[in-house]
Amino acid sequence: LPRFNLRGQAGNETMLPLPGDAASVRDFELDGIERNTLGTVRIFPKNSVIDGIVLWKNQATSEEPPSLVQERNLDLTIFPSEKTAVEQLVKELKLDEAPTLKRKLEILDHWFLQNFKYTRYLSIPPFTSKQQSQSAMSTFLLKHREGHCEYFATGAAMLLRGAGVPTRYAIGYSVREQDVKRGEYLIRGEHAHAWCRVWDAEKNVWMYFDPTPPSWLAIVQQRRANTQWISD
C-alpha cells in the first residue's frame, strides 16, 4: 500500500488526522491507540512530537455502516429545531425525488454554490427558543445564507437525511499547503474544516461530500502574513 510519514505536535488523547481510507499506522511511539465505530483514531503518545508512517488507500473502510433499524439510525436523525426548514427545502429542491445519490449531491452542490456565501464573520444571532422562532441553522438555510464550513456541512447533512440518505458530519483538515523544498505538506490550525460523509447504498461505502463553496480556500490563504516562514 502507498504510505506517508506523519510528524507533528501531539498531546495526550490526541485525535490522529488520517484519511478515510487509512489502512494502518506504524512506528509511532505510543502508550496506546483507540478507534471508534466512526473511524476516528485517538492516540496516547509517549512524546510531545510524534513521528510515524501511515499506510492508506485501503479498499476497506474503518467506519461502520449505518444501522438498518430506523429507530436506531442516528445517521438519519434530524433535530426537531431544524425539521420544519429541512422539510420545506427538501420539497422545494425536490431532493427526495432525485433518482440517484449522485443527482441529489449535484442538486445540493449547485444550490449552495449559487445561493450562499462563505464567511468567518457571522451576523446570525445566537439561538434562544424564547426569543426566536427559528434556530441559527434554519436561519442560515432559509434567510441569511452566509456562514462558515460548519454551517454548510450541518445544513447539507440535515437536508440529505431529510431526503432519506444516511449522512455524517465530519471534521478534520483540508491538506492544501505544500512545502516543495522539503517535499512535505503542512497542516495548520487554520486548515481545520468540516464536511459530510454520505452513505452510498449501491457501493456499500461512505463517500466524501464537501458542500462549502471553494472560495473558503482563497480567504484562508489571504490571511497568512508574508512573514509566516519566520514563524515556521
Would you state the torsion angle of the CA atoms of residues 96, 97, 101, 106, taken in this order, to the nearest 10 degrees? -100
For residue 84, give the C-alpha cell: 420544519
Could you give the C-alpha distances from 22 to 6, 40, 41, 45, 102, in angstroms and in order? 12, 11, 10, 19, 24
Report yes or no: 153 and 92 within 8 Å, Cβ to Cβ: no
Tell me the average pLDDT across 68-82. Answer: 82
Instruction: Give the pLDDT of residue 28.
Output: 96
Q: For residue range 23-44, what is the model confidence (pLDDT) as tens digits? A: 899 999 999 999 988 889 999 9
Cα–Cα distance measured from residue 163 to residue 200, given in angstroms and rounded to the nearest whole number: 13
Q: How confident is the model at residue 67 (pLDDT cuts 50, 70, 90)?
A: confident
Q: For residue range 113-139, what is the model confidence (pLDDT) as tens digits? A: 999 998 888 777 766 655 556 788 999
Instruction: Give the pLDDT of residue 223.
Output: 62
Quickly count: other Cβ atoms within 10 Å of residue 180's Cβ: 6
Q: How confident is the model at residue 226 (pLDDT cuts 50, 70, 90)?
A: confident
Q: Give the gyration radius of the chain's Cα atoms.
A: 20
Q: Which amino acid is at 152?
A: F
Instruction: Give me the chain's average pLDDT, please.
Output: 88
The answer for residues whose C-beta is within 8 angstroms of residue 188's C-beta and 6 or more apart is: 177
The predicted model scores a pTM of: 0.86
Please, what sign has the CA dihedral across residues 143, 145, 150, 155? positive
